Amino acid sequence: MIESNRIELKRELNESLEKEVVGFLNYYEGGELYIGVEDNGNVVGVENSDDIQKRVVDRIKNNICPSTMGLFDVLTVKIEDKDIVKVVISSGSEKPYYIKKYGMSPNGCVIRVGTTVQPMTMDMIDFLYSKRIRNSLGRLMSPRQDLTFKQLKIYYEENGYNLNDRFLNNLELYTEENKFNYAAYLLADENGISMKVAKYSGTDKVELIENAEFGYCSLIKATENILNKLDIENITLAEITTTTRKEKRLVDPSALREAVINAIVHNDYSNGIPPVFEIFSDKFVITSSGGLPQELSQEEFFEGISAPRNKELMRVFKDVKLVEQLGSGVQRILKTYDKNIFKFTSNFLKVSFPIINAGINAGINAGINAGIDSNAKLLKLNNTQESILNLIKQNKYITQDEMAELLSKNIRTIERNIKKLQSENFIERIGSNRDGHWEIKDGTC
């Protein structure tokens, strides 16, 4: 490991942290800072990495302006079997960033140059300030101010957060005028944003066979519903020979998940166009609005350099574990697929996953109810019942209303098929309708 334009090495946490981070925030590629590695690359490690992580987060959050939330990630990694604190910094969209105590001056505004940070000139500071993006979600006012956030709070509590009265302030869901911003609108229990999953019978848009709609709720809940819906559609194809049975999903599930989340988090919502998800007989297509952020070239995009368009959304998606690490999504996709699945225009970014043909016997559907044995019971199930079993396998607390929404069925259809599954001893309801859960009976899964 050596220092470069994107890598800074520190033996220990010292007073220059803010300066290095500001340098990367103002640099068009961002960068990575490693604490516990000497300038010459010698790994010394750190003691009590958890404490160092907390101090780093606190200093970056409180000592740098504008807000950096959603633009950095702090984690502990092992190098040569020693704990190293790694700080990943994205290129910011509200340049110039500066050290708060020095203000927007050459002392406070620095930029990465090679392996060093250098003060900006006043001309550079004025130029960047004049270009600062003002249509970010944090600056746009919500079209509604009567917002509630019960769903969002549940997701945070499920991930171990203890919430206080400043929960919404800490997530930066207010404008400078103390009004709910557009990020708050997207994350609220009710909004006017809806995303569609369209399914076609062929390779084009001539014959639409299903148009499921997900939204008008917290963007987090809508995202999970879309992921569940696409997981159901991403069936397993089986090739059966005289000696083997090979199974493969239509699309790599990890890559599909990353593309869905990237499309939702980085979509340009300021133009009123949400992401669209389409399923054809030969491909899964995901389209997001806005094209690449202005800070990124296509080459930098493929290298995994992160420049979040919507830092408020990125921060929340990371908090609730929908995003793992900044810049990692595209790299996961490229482990399985070639770059040519991406198509860039000035206003849109489209990802097309080709459907894999597993063989001449690929018509056997083993994925719509992945994990359910191909025993005699399976012959009694229709497609809706198979899908219900798969949903229960993923979430035993799922409600019948949620099943109806995910499967684009009316509630009576779901109730009728649930009763059939119970009467045939496929599933059992444990506890009350309100507080209980589903169990799939032994021998079914």
**Are 289 and 348 contacting, i.e. CB atoms less than 8 angstroms apart?**
yes
- Residue 294: pLDDT band (50, 70, 90) is low
Question: What DSSP designation does 298 have?
Answer: H
The confidence score (pLDDT) of residue 257 equals 94
User: Each residue of 59-104: pLDDT tens digit?
Assistant: 999 999 988 888 899 999 999 999 999 999 998 888 999 999 999 8
**What SS3 class is residue 7?**
strand
Is there a single domain that holds both residue 113 and residue 32?
yes
The confidence score (pLDDT) of residue 63 equals 95
Beta strand 276-279 pairing with 194-200: parallel
> Is residue 390 included in any domain, yes or no?
yes
Mean predicted lDDT score pLDDT of the chain = 86
**What SS3 class is residue 342?**
strand
Residue 192 or 383, more confident: 192
Residues 6+ apart with CB under 8 A from 104: 96, 98, 125, 129
Distance in angstroms (rounded) separating the CA atoms of residues 3 and 348: 35
Distance in angstroms (rounded) separating the CA atoms of residues 212 and 124: 49
Question: What DSSP designation does 343 have?
Answer: E
> Is residue 216 included in any domain, yes or no?
yes
- Residue 389: pLDDT band (50, 70, 90) is confident
> Is residue 2 included in any domain, yes or no?
no
- Of 293, 326, 354, the last residue of a domain is 354
Distance in angstroms (rounded) separating the CA atoms of residues 351 and 301: 13
Is there a single domain that holds both residue 372 and residue 280?
no
- Residue 298: pLDDT band (50, 70, 90) is confident
Is there a single domain that holds both residue 208 and residue 350?
yes
Structural domain of 168: 150-187
Q: Check whether 296 has a pLDDT greater than 90.
A: no
Cα–Cα distance list, 14 to 26, 37, 40, 261 (Å): 20, 13, 17, 36
> Is residue 125 included in any domain, yes or no?
yes
> Is residue 445 included in any domain, yes or no?
no
105-109, 374-378, 386-390, range with greatest mean pLDDT: 105-109
Of 255, 350, 257, 261, nearest to 310 by C-alpha is 261
Is there a single domain that holds both residue 178 and residue 123?
no
Q: Check whether 364 has a pLDDT greater than 70.
A: no
Is there a single domain that holds both residue 289 and residue 348?
yes
Distance in angstroms (rounded) separating the CA atoms of residues 433 and 391: 17
Question: Average of pLDDT values for 384-400?
Answer: 84
> Is residue 165 included in any domain, yes or no?
yes
Is there a single domain that holds both residue 347 and residue 405?
no
Strands ordered across the beta sheet of 72-79: 7-10, 31-35, 82-89, 72-79
The confidence score (pLDDT) of residue 215 equals 86
Lowest-pLDDT choice from 27-31, 217-221, 330-334, 438-442: 438-442
Question: Average of pLDDT values for 231-235?
Answer: 90
Question: Average of pLDDT values for 364-391?
Answer: 58
Q: Where are the beta strands (DSSP E) in 152-260?
A: 194-200, 208-215, 236-240, 245-249
- Of 288, 323, 354, the last residue of a domain is 354
Residue 151 identity: Q
Is there a single domain that holds both residue 199 and residue 102?
no
The confidence score (pLDDT) of residue 370 equals 40
- Residue 239: pLDDT band (50, 70, 90) is low
When divided into structural domains, the chain yields a total of 4
> Is residue 138 included in any domain, yes or no?
no
Is there a single domain that holds both residue 211 and residue 304?
yes
- The CATH number of the domain where 84 resides is what? 3.30.950.30
Strands ordered across the beta sheet of 276-279: 208-215, 194-200, 276-279, 283-289, 348-354, 342-344
- Of 331, 354, 377, the last residue of a domain is 354
Is there a single domain that holds both residue 208 and residue 172?
no
Q: Check whether 13 has a pLDDT greater than 60.
A: yes
**Are 106 and 119 contacting, i.e. CB atoms less than 8 angstroms apart?**
yes
User: Each residue of 110-166: pLDDT tens digit?
Assistant: 999 999 999 999 999 988 887 665 557 888 889 899 999 999 999 999 999 999 999
Is there a single domain that holds both residue 12 and residue 119?
yes
Is there a single domain that holds both residue 319 and residue 386?
no
Beta strand 72-79 pairing with 82-89: antiparallel
Is there a single domain that holds both residue 280 and residue 342?
yes
The confidence score (pLDDT) of residue 357 equals 58
> Is residue 392 included in any domain, yes or no?
yes
Distance in angstroms (rounded) separating the CA atoms of residues 61 and 311: 13
- The CATH number of the domain where 386 resides is what? 1.10.10.10
- The CATH number of the domain where 248 resides is what? 3.30.565.60
